[in-house]
A and B are shown apart, each in its own frame.
Chain A
């Protein structure tokens, strides 16, 4: 098992027909972006059709797991989770060069370091957390 940063009581992924393949790839430690075969637009979360050309010919593609910190918040208020406080929720701008023709961002966490305002823009890489055999969650660490 990988390093753990969050407890099992974290909310589980709620998956639908479109996001299940994304989480199944995550279980194999592969970070993916859904891409439109027709126009090359990258989509997250995975959707039934492309929001740019409305094609339903969409393919999940692996990305490098590299990116940069777009914005973040340090959460100090426990809701009903048992994780250590505070923790960092972040928006990551993924490196999708050669994969999609647009910038694709996703929500995640920064783990293994505290985060300061000046860190916005810093390079990050995916760090997989195996919550169980089925559920692996992509967190991110500073390079």
Chain B
């Protein structure tokens, strides 16, 4: 019998544009997603004994466990990968907990209300605030530029690049994408094809924030420039909501209603010198600069899963930026380095007849931005036969987390 841990349920709240969820709190959304996921699995909260999250989730497991009335919390875990890099790592950690017997039913969750807290797209504005010397009163002129002392590693690393105006993820990720274009002739239209394909998938997904908004390649090209070469429509959404998935043993999964879906491979990590990824990795190996930094991780993942890129029926690839999708397609071996542009332009990512149906929910570009946990939800759905853009006979699915920062990925397979 396969001893691998299984994904047995998924739950989501409503997804909205950022700032539109105002009648409840972020942590109440986490509770809602968790209870829906457990219900979807056909389990009871009384059976949950582990919670895991990532991306410095504000909704701490110890408090959620108390509010949920979890009988005995046996596993609570947070991943040390920045932002969206840790989503699949949180799954990996839950899998390890289940497979080693530390816990039996672990819920991985992510809640993100950008309206109630800071917007990630403007997150560095908060860093900038920390970098400013404080005026004694608001009525006085601000003091002249000065050094601000920091003993925190993140602030030290960011403090070395912020004086140049490096404050947003879009600017950070635009740098390697521009060089990819320079080296390989990748075009903005090719990036646009990724956005258009995922939008077509979102238009079929009743949960997608962009359900009713179509996008043409011309509209992509005409959308306003954010940080060249990235247009607005090359960037993921900013949304409110929460989602969760339930991980349990193969044995327990067999007793539940859904088709058993095993996590057959997991990998997490970063290449040498990666630190905070595209924000701070100017000195990584030249050969890695125009990649998602996930090539080594991909090799480990395929080896562990015992499958390769040719075996993947459907993929959920973290899409914070179109160019980052393209780099991951190269890192994971779906095409050769530098060939991501022609690959996506061929229509490969379409659910309807593409060679690698990808982000069948619309992804973060068009469904919702849940720091990539919604990609895991859609990955499981696509093997349960529940996707709104269902790939026929899909049995093996790759799910990745944010590239261009320390990252993680999993392979799911129907049993």
Which residues in A have some Cβ–Cβ distance to B below 8 Å? Answer: 6, 8-20, 23, 43-45, 51, 70-77, 79-81, 83, 86-87, 89, 91, 103-109, 117, 120, 131-135, 137, 139
Contacts and interface: CB of A to CB of B under 8 A. Distances in A.
A72 B165 CA distance: 13
B147 A134 contact: yes
B93 interface: no
Of B157, B171, B282, the most chain A CB neighbours within 10 A belong to: B282
Contacts of A51: 272-273
Interface stretch (B84-92, B130-138, B401-409): B130-138
Contacts of B144: 8, 131-135
Contacts of B156: 14-16, 18-19, 45
Contacts, number: 173
A129 B167 CA distance: 19
A10 B160 contact: no
Nearest to A51: B273
Of A9, A11, A120, A139, the most chain B CB neighbours within 10 A belong to: A11
Contact of A76 (B142, B162, B226): B226
Size range of the chain B interface in the assembly = 35 or more
Nearest to B275: A45
Contact of B147 (A15, A86, A89, A117): A15
A14 B131 contact: yes
Contacts of B146: 12, 132, 134-135
B164 A23 contact: no
B163 interface: yes
A48 B340 CA distance: 38
7 closest Cβ pairs, A-B complex: A14-B159, A73-B174, A11-B162, A132-B144, A71-B179, A131-B145, A11-B131
Nearest to A70: B179
Contact of A77 (B150, B159, B227): B227
A6 B164 CA distance: 9
A8 B178 contact: no
Given A73-B227, A105-B283, A133-B144, A13 B176 contact: no
Given A76-B227, A91-B175, A133-B144, 8 more contacts: A10-B145, A14-B130, A14-B147, A15-B148, A44-B283, A79-B125, A79-B128, A105-B282
Given A10-B145, A103-B286, A109-B164, A79 B159 contact: no
Contact of A73 (B131, B157, B228): B228
B167 A11 contact: yes
B165 A87 contact: yes
Contacts of B43: none
Contacts of B20: none
A2 to B, nearest CB: 13
B181 to A, nearest CB: 7
Given A11-B127, A77-B170, A45 B157 contact: yes
B3 interface: no
B147 to A, nearest CB: 5
B151 interface: yes
A71 B227 contact: no
A8 B130 CA distance: 15
Contacts of B166: 89, 107
A111 B121 CA distance: 25
B140 interface: no
A107 B158 CA distance: 11
B71 interface: no
Given A8-B145, A70-B179, A117-B178, A104 B164 contact: no
A43 B167 CA distance: 23
A14 B150 contact: yes
Nearest to B127: A11
Contacts of A17: 151
Contacts of A107: 160-161, 164, 166, 282
A72 B157 CA distance: 19
Contacts of B170: 77
Nearest to B147: A15
A109 B164 CA distance: 6
A20 B147 contact: yes
B182 interface: yes
B286 to A, nearest CB: 7
B306 to A, nearest CB: 34
A44 B147 contact: no
A89 B155 CA distance: 19
A88 to B, nearest CB: 9
Interface in B213-234: 224-230
A61 to B, nearest CB: 16
B179 A6 contact: no
B168 interface: yes
Contact of A12 (B131, B227, B229, B289): B131
B122 interface: yes
Contacts of B122: 79-80
Contacts of B178: 71-73, 117, 120
19 contacts: A8-B144, A10-B145, A11-B131, A13-B147, A13-B159, A13-B163, A14-B156, A18-B156, A44-B283, A70-B282, A73-B174, A74-B227, A79-B124, A79-B165, A89-B166, A107-B160, A109-B165, A134-B146, A135-B147
